[in-house]
Amino acid sequence: MLLMPRSCTPPPTIGTPVERHGQLRVCGTTMCDKSGARVQLRGISSMWLNWETAPYAENLSALRWMRDNWNLQVIRAAMGVEPAGAYLSDPNKARGQVETIINNAVTAGVYVIVDWHAHEAQNNQSQAVAFFGDLARRYGHLPNVIWEPYNEPLQVSWTNVIKPYHQAVVSAIRAADPDNIVVLGTPTWSQDVDVAAASPVSGTNLMYTLHFYSCTHGSSLRAKGDAAIRAGLALFVTEWGASNADGGLDGRACLPEAQSWIDWMKANGISWTAWKLDVGTDTTNLLSPGAPVTGGWTNYLHGHAPFVVANMR
């Protein structure tokens, strides 16, 4: 038998991520693909779409470039909701940005998370129900789409505030889309997954959001994740950074702790999208000034980007 020398590069994986994995589902505490194999999606999040410096996340060429050069499998469309210029004040613009990202993801054969990027979504429940119900009717038949109805709830009650909100939005989604995964935000900026585990939302193909920033969050937050997994929850880290929880305003990166998180997510089959596809001085801005909108960013990586890209490959 001829063995491949260790120095040789393995052959490229055939097909796009969606061609390989197809319809996703929750299986126990992890995610499985169309063949029942466990899958860990890895990708990046957009900036708040209302605040991005350029339409990096909406560019199809850039998405294909990330797929082919970074091994990106999923992109998260972080649609700001509450601030000026976001969805509540300019719904047509915000919806257009999200739908562009969805359509590009379908063309590129990658998965897309539709993120209601809010901190007080319970105050606008009717708008969220209408938004997700409409998109589920038009895009819910596609295997590409993952729904995220509430990015980061604040320190409010899971039982009395967040869970009822999720139940209302999930019902609207399920009226048109019976099977695509829905990722549910948890209290305290999506950290208290153990609290959600004590009273989970009823339904199928539901996952729960855990966010971390490695200069701020360490083993104690992973312990909350472990407790949630022991209780039967499936987790999805839809946002993380190798920085302080403010996204790295000081420019510092904490890579050893970030590696501990990467190892933990891999061991538990937890999918992730890293924060964030934009230009700026924060640690979590993936691109440096001058990065073209269309991709080709090998010489434009910034902050924690080399670490993120290395762990997507």
**Residues annotated as part of the active site:** 152, 239
* Angle formed at CA 136 by CA 29 and CA 142, multiple of 5 degrees: 70
Q: Which two tokens stand for residue 105?
A: 């993801």
Half-sphere exposure of 270 (CA within 13 A, CB side): 30
- The 3 state secondary structure assigned to 146-158 is EEECCCCCCCCCH
Q: Which helix (H) or strand (E) holds 20?
A: helix 17-21
Q: Would you state the torsion angle of the CA atoms of residues 53, 57, 61, 64, taken in this order, to the nearest 10 degrees?
A: 140
3-state secondary structure of 268: coil
283 within 8 A of 246, measured Cβ to Cβ = no
